Amino acid sequence: MSRNYAELHDPNAEYTMRELSSETMGVSAKRGGGRDVEITDIQTTMIDGNFPWTLVRIYTDAGVVGTGEAYWGAGVPELIERMKPFLIGENPLDIDRMFEHLVQKMSGEGSVQGVTVTAISGIEIALHDLAGKILDVPAYQLLGGKYRDQVRVYCDCHTADEADPQACADEAERVVEELGYDALKFDLDVPSGHEKDRANRHLRNSEIRHKAEIVEAVTERVKDKADVAFDCHWTFSAGSAKRLAAAIADYDVWWLEDPVPPENHDVQREVTESCPTTPITAGENVYRKHGHRRLLEEQAVDIIAPDMPKVGGMRETRKIADMADTYYVPVAMHNVSSPVATMASAHVATAIPNSLAVEYHSYQLGWWEDLVEEDVIEDGYIEIPENPGLGVTLDMDVVEEKMIDGETLFDEA
C-alpha cells in the first residue's frame, strides 16, 4: 500500500509556538549575487552497499542540486518525505535555521535522538553541498576554513576468521603494506570459544586473554607503521571493560571503542576514569550536541567519536568538536557511509583543529568509490577538494545499478 508521508497530520508540527519558517520569521529580504534561491523538491534513493545507504538530493528553482547522505537504516526515506513540506520554498542557504526548523517541527516524532535526527542529518549535508555550489565555495569554507589539506583515514579491518589473532595480524600487515593505510581498527567483540553466556556482558578470564592475544598480535605485527584501535560495540559490563582495558594496557592501543553500552553515562565515565593508560572512545550512539555534552563535561571519554550523518549533520558535528576542544578532547569520526557522507565528514575534519581521523568501513567493497566520479581515498588519506560543495559527483549509472530493489532513481538535475 502506497502512503504519502508528506501529508501526515501532526498537530505538534502545525501549531508549534516556535515556528521557524521564513514566512513566520519574516525572512523575506531579497538577496543579491544569485543567492535568492528556493527549494523545490527533495528526493531519496537507497543504495545496496555494505550498508543500505540513503542518498538525499535537494532541488532548487535555480537548477542547482545538492547531494547528501543519511546514516543507513529503515525509515529514513519516509521521514525525509515527511519533512519535505517544511522545506519547500525555503532558501537553502539558511542552514542553521533549516536545521532548527526541522528539529522543532519533528519534535513530536523524535528529533531529540534516533532515526529522525538521522533523516535531518541527510538533509543538512545536502544543504551544505547545495550552499557551496550556490556560493561557489567548498563546503569546508562554510564551516570556517581548513586546518589541513588532507584528512587521515582509519581502515576498519575484517577477516574471514576475526577470532584468529594471527589472521587479524596478517590482514593488518596487508592493509598497511598493500593498501597504504597507517591507521586501522579491529573488532574485539568476536567469539573466543570460551563463552558460557552471551547475554550477561561478563568476560571470563579466558575470554579476556583471547582478546588480549588479538591486540598483541596486531600491534606487534604493524609496530609503529600504523596506529591501531579496537572496537567492542557496546558489549561488555563495566567490570569486564575495566579488566579488558587493563589487560591490553602494555600494548600500543590507539583507543578502545565503546566497551560498555551507551545509555548509562555514569558507567561510561567510571570505565574511562579507571583506565588511565588505555584511551577510551565513545559517541557514535549519542545524538546531537546535547547528547555529547555530558560525555565531555564529565570527561567520560578520552576521544569523542560522533557519526556525522547520524548525529545531526556537518554543523552539528562542528559544534560537538568545538565543545570537545574546550576539554582538549580529539575527534575520531565514526563513519560507515558511501563516498558522499565520507567526503562530507572529511570536510568537517579539515575545518576543526582536533580531528584525529575519519573511519572507512568499505575497503572490501570493490565498487565503493565507483559511486562517484572522483577519487576519494588515496594511500590512507582524503585530499579535500576545492570544487564547490562537497566536491563529489554521483555516477548515476552506478547509482541505478546498485539501488535497492523497489527504489526510484533521482530526477536529473
221 and 113 in a common domain: no
> pLDDT digits over 75-130, tens only?
999 999 999 999 999 999 999 999 999 999 998 888 888 999 999 999 999 999 99
Residue 26: predicted pLDDT: 87
Residue 117: predicted pLDDT: 96
Mean residue pLDDT of the chain comes to 95
> pLDDT digits over 308-364, tens only?
999 999 999 999 999 999 999 999 999 999 999 999 999 999 999 999 999 999 999
**CATH code of 324's domain:** 3.20.20.120
C-alpha 112/C-alpha 293 separation (Å) is 14
The three cell numbers of residue 354 are 582536533
Which residue carries 518525505 as its cell?
81
Domain-terminating residue out of 121, 136, 151: 136
Which residue carries 532515526 as its cell?
115
393 occurs within a structural domain: no
168 and 131 in a common domain: no
**Which residues sit opposite 151 in a β-bridge?**
382
176 and 316 in a common domain: yes
194 and 72 in a common domain: no
- In the chain, the percentage of residues whose pLDDT exceeds 70 is 98
Domain-terminating residue out of 104, 136, 168: 136
- Rama region for 53: left / alpha / beta (φ>0; ψ in -120 to 50; rest): beta
Q: What is the mean pLDDT of residues 1-28?
A: 77
Q: What is the mean pLDDT of residues 179-187?
A: 98
Residue 194: predicted pLDDT: 83
Q: What is the mean pLDDT of residues 51-74?
A: 96
352 and 223 in a common domain: yes
> pLDDT digits over 247-294, tens only?
999 999 999 999 999 999 999 999 999 999 999 999 999 999 999 999
403 occurs within a structural domain: no
120 and 189 in a common domain: no
CA distances from 276 to 246, 249, 256, 344 (A): 9, 9, 12, 33
124 and 75 in a common domain: yes
Q: Dihedral of the CA atoms 20, 22, 28, 31 (nearest 10)?
A: 100
When pLDDT is cut at 50, 70 and 90, the band that residue 16 belongs to is: low
202 and 123 in a common domain: no
Domain-terminating residue out of 99, 117, 136: 136
SS (H, E, C) the chain: CCCCHHHCCCHHHHHCCCCCCHHHHCCCCCCCCCCCCCEEEEEEEEEECCCEEEEEEEEECCCCEEEEEECCCCCHHHHHHHHHHHHCCCCCCCHHHHHHHHHHHCHHHCCCCCHHHHHHHHHHHHHHHHHHHHHCCEHHHHCCCCCCCEEEEEEECCCCCCCCHHHHHHHHHHHHHCCCCCEEEEECCCCCCCCCCCCCCCCCHHHHHHHHHHHHHHHHHHHHHCEEEEECCCCCCHHHHHHHHHHCCCCCCCCEECCCCCCCHHHHHHHHHCCCCCCEEECCCCCHHHHHHHHHHCCCCCEECCEHHHHCCHHHHHHHHHHHHCCCCCEEEECCCCHHHHHHHHHHHHHCCCEEEEEECCCCCCCHHHHECCCCEECCEEECCCCCECCCCECHHHHHHHECCCCCCCCCC
C-alpha 29/C-alpha 50 separation (Å) is 45
Please name the amino acid found at residue 29: A
C-alpha 133/C-alpha 373 separation (Å) is 17
When pLDDT is cut at 50, 70 and 90, the band that residue 198 belongs to is: confident
156 and 119 in a common domain: no
236 and 130 in a common domain: no
The three cell numbers of residue 341 are 557522507
148 occurs within a structural domain: yes
**107 or 44, higher pLDDT:** 44
Residue 108: predicted pLDDT: 84
Residue 20 has pLDDT above 60, yes or no: yes
Which residue carries 545524538 as its cell?
287
When pLDDT is cut at 50, 70 and 90, the band that residue 1 belongs to is: very low
Domain count within the chain = 2
Q: How far is CA 326 from the centre of its chain?
A: 22
> pLDDT digits over 206-245, tens only?
999 999 999 999 999 999 999 999 999 999 999 999 999 9
Q: In whole angstroms, how large is the CA radius of gyration of the chain?
A: 22
When pLDDT is cut at 50, 70 and 90, the band that residue 14 belongs to is: low
213 and 325 in a common domain: yes
409 occurs within a structural domain: no
Residue 12 has pLDDT above 70, yes or no: no
Is residue 187 a contact partner of residue 214, using CB atoms and an 8 Å limit?
Answer: no
Residue 13: predicted pLDDT: 64
* Domain span including residue 66: 5-136
70 and 21 in a common domain: yes
189 occurs within a structural domain: yes
Residue 214: predicted pLDDT: 98
**CATH code of 9's domain:** 3.30.390.10
**Whether this model's pTM surpasses 0.75:** yes
- In the chain, the percentage of residues whose pLDDT exceeds 90 is 88
